[in-house]
Structure 1
């Protein structure tokens, strides 16, 4: 039996970074686990939080295909290149390069940055906290 995979991001601002990735991937906020009605209620079930614990955000693919994304606040900033990155796939075929460019432009407006463009193939970007990813067909 294959296992499911979650991808977890250490962040400085989980909620803001989750908003960026919702736009990038078309994901939605994941509801809290039953029987909880809010994430705050779920978090409170673990007892009193430490003063240094940050926030979190959880996203899921509404189609149920892609991995769940978890964003957890940590005290330190990102300092090196990712060892793993996400490829945002916009679909192959006619107009693929135009879709790649359009998606990267949308993500720049949302706070992303273009790092490298490989014309006709893919665009390497960084999200608002510097996590690298590619937009490709």
Structure 2
């Protein structure tokens, strides 16, 4: 996988937000470095105080084709609309041009809401199709397409 692209999220709770995005994207938590059985073991060996174990988190595409997502703890909360956002497609085969997947997108939105996301608004456009603007549990906007 080409690591020139990494998506970084500022977060209040990197572990919890990473868990949400793992579910949303079908990603997994990045494995600890070679020689360590867990991140807890790794961080302890590195001498990082336990109260800092949630300073960062990384999730990866288990197939190795998607970008790594790094979540870093920041003290401030989100205060404005994202200038960049993710478009998240439905799991499975990509849609064919013109295919309407309104029911599938709405169902997936419900699944993500159960994980802590919130629905902002729906869009239905003859050219661009149907999508739902959502927010992850920390308020970051993304589109479900």
Count, aligned residues: 135
Q: What's the CA shift for 1:12? A: 0.6
The equivalent residue for 1:132 is 141
State the distance in 2 between where 1:92 and 1:83 align. 26
Query: Does structure 2 conserve the Cα–Cα contact (< 8 Å) formed by 1:54 and 1:74?
Result: no
- Counterpart secondary structure, 1:59: strand
Q: What's the CA shift for 1:87? A: 0.7
Query: Does structure 2 conserve the Cα–Cα contact (< 8 Å) formed by 1:58 and 1:69?
Result: yes
The equivalent residue for 1:97 is 102
Once the two structures are superposed, the pairs formed by residues 37-52 of structure 1 within 5 Å of their partners are 37-44=37-44, 48=48
Matched, 1:113 2:118: yes
Query: Does structure 1 conserve the Cα–Cα contact (< 8 Å) formed by 2:8 and 2:72?
Result: yes
Query: Does structure 2 conserve the Cα–Cα contact (< 8 Å) formed by 1:53 and 1:73?
Result: no
State the distance in 2 between where 1:105 and 1:81 align. 22
Once the two structures are superposed, the pairs formed by residues 1-137 of structure 1 within 5 Å of their partners are 4-44=4-44, 48=48, 54-90=54-90, 91-93=94-96, 94=99, 96-119=101-124, 120-136=129-145
Which structure 2 residue ranges, 5 or more long, are not aligned? Answer: none
What TM-score results when the alignment is normalised by the length of structure 1? 0.84
- The RMSD of aligned alpha carbons is 2.3
Moved over 6 A (4+): none
Query: Does structure 2 conserve the Cα–Cα contact (< 8 Å) formed by 1:32 and 1:38?
Result: yes
